[in-house]
Amino acid sequence: MSALLEVNNISKRFGGLQAVDRLSLTVNEGEILGLIGPNGAGKSTVFNLINGVYPPDGGSIVFVGQDITGGPPYRVARQGIARAHQIVQPLGGLSVLDNCTVGACFGRQGLGLVPAREVAREVVDMIGLGDRPDMLAASLTTAGKKRLELARALSARPRLLLLDEVLAGLNPTETEGMIETVHKIRDSGVAILMIEHIMRAVMSLSDRIVVLNLGSKLAEGSPQQVADNPEVITAYLGDSKLLSVAEKPA
C-alpha cells in the first residue's frame, strides 16, 4: 500500500495551549485510519490543520506527493480531501441536492453545473436522502443533516475523507445505517481518516488506529494492538471495563 497522506511533525499552539505537538501520521490508499483520544486531545485540530483551516506552526502535510501545508481550505478540497464536520454545517437555505452540487462543483473533479448535479443526485440516493432532494437543508432532522454532511463530502469524489464524529448524536438504528454507509464508501476506494468516540464502531471499522493524548501520538497500531496497550488503557480508556467492550468487536 502506498501513502496517500503524510503528516510530518505538525504542531499547533493556541495561546498557552499546545493543541498539537509534533504529530506524524500516514493514511494509506484505501484504508480507514481511526483517530481516537480523550476530549481535548487535539483531534479536531488535526483535521483543521490537514484541510487548511489554520496553518500549523511547524511541520508539513503532503497529499499525493503535493505539499498542502497551510491550506487554504478550498485548495485542499480541490486536491481531493473532503470533510464531514462534527458540528454539522449545512448550507441551510439551499436544498439537499444543491448542497451536494456545491460539493461536486468545487471538489476534486471541479465539475460543471450540469454533471455536478448528476453526481449529486447519485450520491444523495446512495446516502439515503433520495426521497427528499428538494428539501431545504435547514429543515432536515439531526440524522438527516449528518447524512447530508457525508453526502456533500462524497459528492466531491474525494480520495481522502475526513470524518469527524459522524456517529455522534445518532440513535442505534441510525448508527448501524451510518456504519454500513462508511463501509460502502471504503469499498468504493476512498481512504478515510475518522475521529470517533464510539469505541465499538472505531474498533470494527478501522484498519489501524492512532491514539492522541495532549496533542501528541500515544500509540499506533491495529485495533487489537491499541486496545492491548497498557498506556492507552490508563491514559485514555482509564476504566478497564470499557476495554472489555472494545475487545469484542461486533
Binding site for other proteins (CB under 8 A): 51, 53, 72-75, 77-78, 82-83, 85, 89-94, 98, 101-103, 105-107, 110, 112-113, 116, 152, 156
- DSSP conformational letter for 243: H
Q: Which is nearer to other proteins, 21 or 165 (CB)?
A: 165
**Burial grade of 143 (CB within 10 A; 0-12, 13-18, 19 or more):** middle
Q: Which is nearer to other proteins, 147 or 152 (CB)?
A: 152
In the complex, minimum distance from the CB of residue 111 to other proteins, in angstroms, rounded to a whole number: 8
In the complex, minimum distance from the CB of residue 172 to other proteins, in angstroms, rounded to a whole number: 28
Which of 94, 236, 82, 235 minimizes the C-alpha distance to 164? 82
**Phi, psi (degrees; rounded to nearest 5) at 118:** -65, -45
Q: Which is nearer to other proteins, 51 or 175 (CB)?
A: 51
In the complex, minimum distance from the CB of residue 225 to other proteins, in angstroms, rounded to a whole number: 33
Q: From CA 88, how far away is CA 148, in angstroms rounded?
A: 9
In the complex, minimum distance from the CB of residue 153 to other proteins, in angstroms, rounded to a whole number: 8
Helices (H) and strands (E) in the chain, counts: 10, 10
In the complex, minimum distance from the CB of residue 67 to other proteins, in angstroms, rounded to a whole number: 18
Q: Are 90 and 99 in contact (CB under 8 A)?
A: yes
For the chain, how far is it from start to end, CA to CA, in angstroms? 26
Bridge partners of residue 68, in order along the sequence: none
For residue 240, how many other CB atoms are within 10 A of its CB?
9
Q: Which is nearer to other proteins, 50 or 185 (CB)?
A: 50
Q: Which is nearer to other proteins, 50 or 232 (CB)?
A: 50
